[in-house]
Amino acid sequence: MEVKLDKRYPLDVDPARAWVILSDLKAVAGCMPGAELTEQLSDTSYKGGVKVKVGPAVAQFGGIVDVLEQDTAAQKMVLRGKGADKGGSSASMDLTAVIEVDPANPEHSVLHGDASVIVNGKFAQFGGRMMVQVSDMILLQFVENFRQAALALPAAAAPAGTIQSAVESSASASPTTASAAAPKVASEINGLAIAWALIKNWWLGLFGKRS
Amino acid sequence: MNAPVNDAEARELALAGMGASRLRKEDARFIQGKGNYVDDIKMAGMLHMDIVRSPVAHARIIKINKEKALAIPGVHAVLTADDLKPLKLHWMPTLAGDVAAVLADEKVHFQMQEVAIVIADDRYIAADAVEAVEVEYDELPVVMDPYAALLPDAPVLRDDLASKTSGAHGPREHHNHIFTWDAGDKAAADAAFASAPVTVSQHMHYPRVHPCPLETCGCVASFDPVRGELTTFITSQAPHVVRTVVSMLSGIPESKVRIVSPDIGGGFGNKVPIYPGYVCAIVASIVLGRPVKWVEDRIENISSTGFARDYHMDGELAATADGKITGLRVNVVADHGAFDACADPTKFPAGMFHICSGSYDIPAAHCSVKGVYTNKAPGGVAYRCSFRVTEAVYLVERMVDVLAQKLGIDKAEIRARNFIRKEQFPYTSAFGFEYDSGDYQAAMDKVLQAVDYKALRAEQAARRADPDSPTLMGIGLVTFTEVVGAGPSKMCDILGVGMFDSCEIRIHPTGSAIARMGTITQGQGHQTTYAQIIATELGIPSEVIQVEEGDTSTAPYGLGTYGSRSTPVAGAAIAMAARKIHAKAKKIAAHMLEVHENDLDWEVDRFKVKGDDAKFKTMAEVAWQAYHQPPEGLEPGLEAVHYYDPPNFTFPFGIYLCVVDIDRATGETKIRRFYALDDCGTRINPMIIEGQIHGGLTEGFAVAMGQQMPFDAQGNLMGNTLMDYFLPTFVETPHWETDHTVTPSPHHPIGAKGVAESPHVGSIPTFTSAIVDAFSHHGMTHMDMPHSAFRVWKELKARGMNL
């Protein structure tokens, strides 16, 4: 099944630092709960995996992530990931992620992600109806990790707010620094937390609220 | 009769023969949990098989890495198509004249297709090893819609057939086209439409469903390398056919292949085909020289074994202004999945779909069925019906309703105007079937009176007049005719073997008996009903008659149990074998009584000398004589075998009426009343008939109201567990009212027609008819199944009828 996600997450981080994290695939992987890059195959290609646990169902996708495009000027990354799980599931994702300047506050940024995720096999069959909700929860955890990683970077010397300054500041921060700044996160996606959040949202939905 | 009437009647009752509501002999073991199913079979040294299946619906296999699986302690073998290739067993023929991959050969064609097998010490190790087999796929575009499959630029699904311009059933017009099959007279039908004052047309999709028997498929294969003999216990509705196919595939002489169908936990067509799992377990047993057990799980059963239906149908009727039907045209696009594995008689790639003129005297008719490949599991089995009869009955019953609605004629009235009349039987339909017997009008009158149809219509009118009514009321009516009992070998064969069936009866010296049959019960109660036929024919109490089926080493060859063929074909074989014994017994009795055969009368359980009540010999006494001192010139013993090749099909019919109340707020449908009148000819055991009808109605209810196999665009089957797939329990199942008329089949030895499938075939369009009827005053002519609350609610909402 295919899930299309187009999301904007406002961050209280300046665009420069956010781009430092986004442009470093290892740092991005570090922010994704349960994900890791295990091997660099080329400048733009990595081997890695992601482990997702929902209740008793565990899927461990192993595969390849390719950076199709890295546009520093536009602060845009285009990625394609493809993987399979031993238990009879496979998944692929096309993701375009952009760091935008928050129109309301040039000191802040917006992480804009546009993704198409295709899941096949058992994971689609069992998890199909929860895919959107689970994706939302995973992304919220990811964004929080991303934000913390960016905040942990030293603030940019130049005043933030322009693309130019952001580019300069990103150039000054080495990828190693960004990776090091990635926070320690749970080694796998926390199924119980997801389940709880789903139940909570459902209850709130009954009373006309959405968290 | 000379004997006191009461005495003969008492003796007849004691036999518990035909017409008696004898309790099922099978139930004692089933309700105590003492059945013997395939998964109950354990053999010394037995290994376990599990299957690596494709997560994707269409892909090229780049690489299969077995190393990690083989390294797991307790794993004996991992086999792929490449391992089967030297044995030429990586592909196998299907019953429909196509080939199917046993294990995916270079390509996978549907999700959950068999890619590799693992053989291990136990089921758990096998399951772990399945996860350790690494398969790399290169995904290809997926085709799920049969119409899209026929577009000029559609991806080629079957590389192996890409260059073939003809298949088993004639020319192929496209790389994803399997066959086009026509029946009837197109020119005559077109002429009827050209001159008709009224025509109607309706598109409908009969969705893909799965028979979903409680017991899944499986087998235990045991090859004895010393004797060179193969024994396989298998969940099969046709063990003798399996033996023939296994012998042909393996090269082992048929005399050294023994196939046993033990107790079977429901079949419903799902256990007719020969599945890759069976073949792999047999190969593994031959390779390893040890017994190998394979039993699939529920998800595997629903995802990969024989589905049913998936017919996209366009029906048209031509009629006079007063509703007399003058012509029928039907075009079908049939989604057969990745391999054409339909289980139909060889000459009929769309089965008996041409029964679609139904119970009506339609002078001109034509149908055309186009089979198409898609990236779905293969199948097309007859789910509790005789080869596509369910689709045919659905089509014609829906069309008659559509016509009635257009003309503003009542559903019952339009049927009465078009019925084949009692005096027209035997009636040859525009499609060439010779209907054996029927009395539709009398049966419909009985039903309409029983439910007070006029009062129901008045109540509906009152309900419609009330804008605040919380419910919509609908009345469904179906007057169906089935064609069952395949079949005459001049028309019907499977892999070249005529569709006869067989019975062997042995009367023992002390007057008890054993009957062995070519059929196999899967819940139908053969052990009970077959004995009753013999009891009546030979005057032996059914209690002392054993019925054995399913073991090819002991039973005579038969084509098995499906398509309601057990009673029409095997039931006739029993009667004929019994009559051979009866004829011999009469000679022995005449000898014992020292009279001429012609001076004997048969009465219940004895031969009596005409005019002398005191002089008689019972069948038990005759049996003893047959073994003790047979008359000179007669062989000792008392037994007979009969292979019965039916002269025609049988045509059971029924009149079903259903009243529904649909909740306008939720779309939930309450089945207020379901009245089912069946005519299956002579009735052997009314209690078993009642049970069969309840079962069939319940499965019909399941199909109409909830069963579906939803696929996403990538070919994932989104409902392959019992969490999703609707199997009704007592909680959901409505109350059934049953009734009957009896119109015996004139060509059947005991006049019986078969019954187990009628309630399934007949009830499904009845539910649709009722649901559509509830909406008909808002212009709805048809709604595709399933009629789940959500789907019905959407119809309510679309018309602004919801509360």
> Tens of pLDDT along A20-35?
999 999 999 999 888 9
3-state SS string for A140-164: HHHHHHHHHHHHCCCCCCCCCCCHH
CA distance A124 to chain B (A): 7
CA distance A127 to chain B (A): 10
CA distance B437 to chain A (A): 48
Given a contact cutoff of 8 angstroms between Cβ atoms, the answer to whether B729 and B307 are in contact is no
Provide the strand spans (E) within B54-125: 59-65, 75-80, 91-93, 99-101, 107-108, 114-120
* Chain A residues within an 8 Å CB radius of B114: none
CA distance B725 to chain A (A): 12
Amino acid at B31: I
| Contacts with A44 (C-beta within 8 Å, 6 or more apart), sequence order | A66, A67, A68, A70
Q: Which of B716, B722, B723 to probe the A interface (max A CBs under 10 A)? A: B716
Of B305, B293, B217, B219, the C-alpha closest to B258 is B219
Interchain CB distance below 8 Å, A121 and B55: yes
- As beta bridge partners, residue B101 has B91
**Which pLDDT score, from 0 to 100, does residue A171 have?**
41
Of B177, B740, B694, B704, the C-alpha closest to B393 is B704
- The answer, for A117 touching chain B at a CB cutoff of 8 Å, is no
Q: Would you state the structure tokens that stand for residue B237, as one six-digit string?
A: 């509705």
Which residues of chain B fall below pLDDT 50?
1-4
**Which pLDDT score, from 0 to 100, does residue B362 have?**
98
Catalytic hit among B385, B492, B503, B680: B385
Residue of chain B nearest A83, judged by CA positions: B136
Q: Which among A2, A125, A128 has CB closest to B713? A: A2
Q: Which of A60-64, A171-175, B321-325: highest mean pLDDT? A: B321-325
* Chain B residues within an 8 Å CB radius of A89: 55
**Which pLDDT score, from 0 to 100, does residue A158 have?**
42
- The answer, for B213 touching chain A at a CB cutoff of 8 Å, is no
- The answer, for B712 touching chain A at a CB cutoff of 8 Å, is yes
CA distance A160 to chain B (A): 45
First to last CA, chain B: 70
**Which pLDDT score, from 0 to 100, does residue B487 have?**
86
- The answer, for B304 touching chain A at a CB cutoff of 8 Å, is no
Q: Could you give the CA distance from residue B515 to residue B15 in angstroms, rounded to a whole number?
A: 16
In chain A, the largest separation of any two C-alpha atoms, in whole Å, equals: 51
Q: Would you state the structure tokens that stand for residue B735, as one six-digit string?
A: 């109350």
Local confidence band at A84 (pLDDT 50, 70, 90 cut-offs):
confident
Q: Would you state the structure tokens that stand for residue B7, as one six-digit string?
A: 């005495």
Local confidence band at A121 (pLDDT 50, 70, 90 cut-offs):
confident
Q: Which of B714, B717, B724, B790 to probe the A interface (max A CBs under 10 A)? A: B714
Q: Is B385 part of the annotated catalytic residue set?
A: yes
Q: Could you give the CA distance from residue B430 to residue B407 in angstroms, rounded to a whole number?
A: 24
Q: Could you give the CA distance from residue A157 to residue B802 in angstroms, rounded to a whole number?
A: 63
**Predicted TM-score of the model (pTM):** 0.92
* Chain A residues within an 8 Å CB radius of B721: 125-126
Residue A210 has pLDDT above 50, yes or no: no
Interchain CB distance below 8 Å, A120 and B714: yes
Helices B686-705 and B758-775 cross at an angle (nearest 10°) of: 40
Of B710, B711, B725, the C-alpha closest to B58 is B711
Task: Provide the 3-class DSSP secondary structure of residue A168.
Answer: helix
- The answer, for A118 touching chain B at a CB cutoff of 8 Å, is yes
**ipTM value:** 0.76
Given a contact cutoff of 8 angstroms between Cβ atoms, the answer to whether B681 and B752 are in contact is yes
**Which pLDDT score, from 0 to 100, does residue B728 have?**
95
Given a contact cutoff of 8 angstroms between Cβ atoms, the answer to whether B218 and B301 are in contact is no
Give chain B's count of helices (H) and strands (E).
Answer: 20, 35
Q: How far is CA B48 from the centre of its chain?
A: 30
Interchain CB distance below 8 Å, B716 and A87: no
| Contacts with B473 (C-beta within 8 Å, 6 or more apart), sequence order | B459, B460, B463, B464, B659, B660, B661, B662, B774
- The answer, for A205 touching chain B at a CB cutoff of 8 Å, is no
Q: Could you give the CA distance from residue B175 to residue B227 in angstroms, rounded to a whole number?
A: 46
Burial degree of B721 (CB within 10 A; 0-12, 13-18, 19+): middle
* Chain A residues within an 8 Å CB radius of B720: 125
- The answer, for A120 touching chain B at a CB cutoff of 8 Å, is yes
* Chain A residues within an 8 Å CB radius of B131: 86-88
Q: Could you give the CA distance from residue B303 to residue B216 in angstroms, rounded to a whole number?
A: 12
Given a contact cutoff of 8 angstroms between Cβ atoms, the answer to whether A95 and A118 are in contact is no
3-state SS string for B735-800: CCEEEECCCCCCCCCCCECCCCCHHHHHHHHHHHHHHHHHHHHHCCCCCCCCCCHHHHHHHHHHCC
Q: Which among A84, A87, A125 has CB closest to B720? A: A125
Q: Which among B55, B712, B718 has CB closest to A89? A: B55
- As beta bridge partners, residue B182 has B368
Of B467, B434, B35, B42, the C-alpha closest to B263 is B35
- The answer, for B62 touching chain A at a CB cutoff of 8 Å, is no
Residue A151 has pLDDT above 80, yes or no: yes
- The answer, for A132 touching chain B at a CB cutoff of 8 Å, is no
Q: Could you give the CA distance from residue B449 to residue B29 in angstroms, rounded to a whole number?
A: 42
**Which pLDDT score, from 0 to 100, does residue A52 have?**
79
- As beta bridge partners, residue B274 has none
Q: Could you give the CA distance from residue B643 to residue B500 in angstroms, rounded to a whole number?
A: 7
Interchain CB distance below 8 Å, A86 and B714: no
* Chain A residues within an 8 Å CB radius of B299: 125
User: CB neighbours (10 Å) of residue B628?
Assistant: 9
Given a contact cutoff of 8 angstroms between Cβ atoms, the answer to whether A64 and B30 are in contact is no
CB pairs under 8 A between A and B: 49
- The answer, for A49 touching chain B at a CB cutoff of 8 Å, is no
Q: Which among A1, A84, A86 has CB closest to B714? A: A1
Q: Could you give the CA distance from residue A84 to residue B139 in angstroms, rounded to a whole number?
A: 12
- The answer, for A112 touching chain B at a CB cutoff of 8 Å, is no
Interchain CB distance below 8 Å, A124 and B716: yes
Q: Which among B131, B134, B716 has CB closest to A120? A: B716
Interchain CB distance below 8 Å, A125 and B132: no
Q: Is B384 part of the annotated catalytic residue set?
A: yes
Interchain CB distance below 8 Å, B718 and A88: no
Interchain CB distance below 8 Å, B56 and A121: yes
Q: Is B212 part of the annotated catalytic residue set?
A: no
First to last CA, chain A: 26
Q: Would you state the structure tokens that stand for residue B529, as one six-digit string?
A: 């009903």
Average pLDDT taken over every residue of chain A: 79
Interchain CB distance below 8 Å, B137 and A90: yes
* Chain B residues within an 8 Å CB radius of A82: none
Q: Which among B55, B131, B134 has CB closest to A120? A: B55
List C-alpha distances in Å: B164 to B161, B178, B661: 5, 10, 53
**Which pLDDT score, from 0 to 100, does residue A206 have?**
66
Task: Provide the 3-class DSSP secondary structure of residue B548.
Answer: strand
**Which pLDDT score, from 0 to 100, does residue A76 have?**
95
Residue of chain B nearest A86, judged by CA positions: B131
Q: Could you give the CA distance from residue B342 to residue B374 in angstroms, rounded to a whole number?
A: 14
* Chain B residues within an 8 Å CB radius of A126: 721
Q: Which among B56, B131, B716 has CB closest to A125? A: B716
Amino acid at B70: L
Given a contact cutoff of 8 angstroms between Cβ atoms, the answer to whether B138 and B59 are in contact is yes
Query: How do strand B107-108 and strand B134-139 relate by DSSP bridges?
Result: unpaired
Catalytic hit among B237, B527, B532, B707: B237
> Tens of pLDDT along B660-683?
999 999 999 999 999 999 999 999
Q: Could you give the CA distance from residue B596 to residue B607 in angstroms, rounded to a whole number?
A: 12
Local confidence band at A126 (pLDDT 50, 70, 90 cut-offs):
confident
**Which pLDDT score, from 0 to 100, does residue B162 have?**
87
Local confidence band at A179 (pLDDT 50, 70, 90 cut-offs):
low
